[in-house]
Amino acid sequence: MNRIIDKVKQSIDRMPSLSPVLHKINAVANNINSSAQDLTNVIQLDPVLTAKVIRMVNSAYFGLPQEITSLKQAVVMLGINTIKNVALSSAFLGTVSLKGKTGLNEEDFWRHSLGVAVASKLIAKRLRVDAKYLEEYFIAGLIHDIGKVLMNNFFPDDMNTILNISSQKNESITAVERKVLGLTHEEIGIAIGKKWKFENNLLYAMGRHHQPVVKGSAAIFSMVIAVADTFVKILRVGFSGNYKIDPIPEEVWKVLELEEESVFVALSSINDEIQKAKVFLS
């Protein structure tokens, strides 16, 4: 088992690195003294990323009343935090892809990920999260299953075994992963997130969406992504290998002050929102 864990660690080292510009974007966005021009200057260091951000800002996803023609205009219109997360989403999706011949279908996997991204944002909106932070929930949902990408790409035989056992619906996928690989996609996700120097909010989303944390500054991300992930499975939006749907802990419902019915109401527009959000995958 230690040999497998060592191979996983080596595979994490072989995962592609995100653009170094992203770390600068994060630093600028997290500095309360930063201006729209400061963020514009940093993003423009990567021309491809700049073009992607402007294209996304002008998509139906944001539904702005006028065309945005410059990066600075986008930052002024949508705010530093939103543009930071648009840039991070673009860079992430430009770096990561499913490879290898396994039973995990790429289109279904990304539809599930996009569904959880949209659902997380809709639930956060229901919780009256400040509008400037909503995109943070979107990207947290988008990347929550990154650990499965590594499993799929570097351990295809093990991934197929995991999918076959999981299809019997007797055990949660994390229990099956631990039995087959010795590690779960959550644990691998945290390791990848640390390699990419992600903030705690995203690490909690990637590493605790099956066992949500209810206390701490980043706990809300763990809980919201857990709820979003569960309901996207119930609604059968895409598929990421989870045949068994685990119940959401009662404590999560209490802390979030949510009920199942209110989540279904919040997600009533999910299909329309996914359609708009497909621009992130193109």
- Per-position DSSP letters for 55-113, written without gaps between them: HHHTSTTT--SS---SHHHHHHHH-HHHHHHHHHHHHHHHH----SSSS--HHHHHHHH
Residue 32: how many other CB atoms lie within 10 Å: 5
Whether 12 is covered by a domain: the verdict is: no
pLDDT band at 3 (very low <50, low <70, confident <90, very high): low
More confident residue, 122 or 53: 122
The answer to whether 90 and 141 are in contact (CB under 8 A) is no
Task: Report the pLDDT averaged over residues 54-63.
Answer: 91
CA distance 246 to 242: 9
Domain with 68, as residue range(s), is 18-95
Do 26 and 87 belong together in one domain? yes
Do 83 and 113 belong together in one domain? no
The answer to whether 81 and 135 are in contact (CB under 8 A) is yes
Q: Encode pLDDT of 96-125 as tens digits.
A: 888 878 999 999 999 999 999 999 999 999
In which region does residue 237 sit, left (phi positive, over 0), alpha (psi from -120 to 50) or beta (all else)? beta
Q: So what's the pLDDT on residue 37?
A: 93
Q: How many domains are contained in the chain?
A: 2
Do 153 and 204 belong together in one domain? yes
Whether 11 is covered by a domain: the verdict is: no
CATH classification of the domain holding 151: 1.10.3210.10
Q: Encode pLDDT of 118-135 as tens digits.
A: 999 999 999 999 998 999
Task: Report the pLDDT averaged over residues 250-267.
Answer: 96
Tokens for 83? 């543009």
CA distance 231 to 237: 9
Task: Report the pLDDT averaged over residues 276-281.
Answer: 88
Map 113-168 to HEC letters.
HHHHHHHHHHHHHHCCCCHHHHHHHHHHHHCCCHHHHHHHHHCHHHHHHHHHHHCC
Whether 197 is covered by a domain: the verdict is: yes
Q: Encode pLDDT of 168-201 as tens digits.
A: 988 999 999 999 999 999 999 999 999 888 889 9
Provide, rounded to the nearest whole percent, the portion of the chain with pLDDT above 70: 99
CA distance 15 to 154: 10
Do 26 and 123 belong together in one domain? no
Q: So what's the pLDDT on residue 2?
A: 62
Nearest to 250 by CA among 227, 279, 282: 227
CA distance 57 to 75: 10
Predicted confidence (pLDDT) at residue 267 exceeds the cutoff of 60: yes
Q: So what's the pLDDT on residue 91?
A: 80
Count of alpha carbons within 13 angstroms of residue 136, beta-carbon side: 24
More confident residue, 93 or 65: 65
* Helix, strand or coil, per DSSP, at residue 243: coil
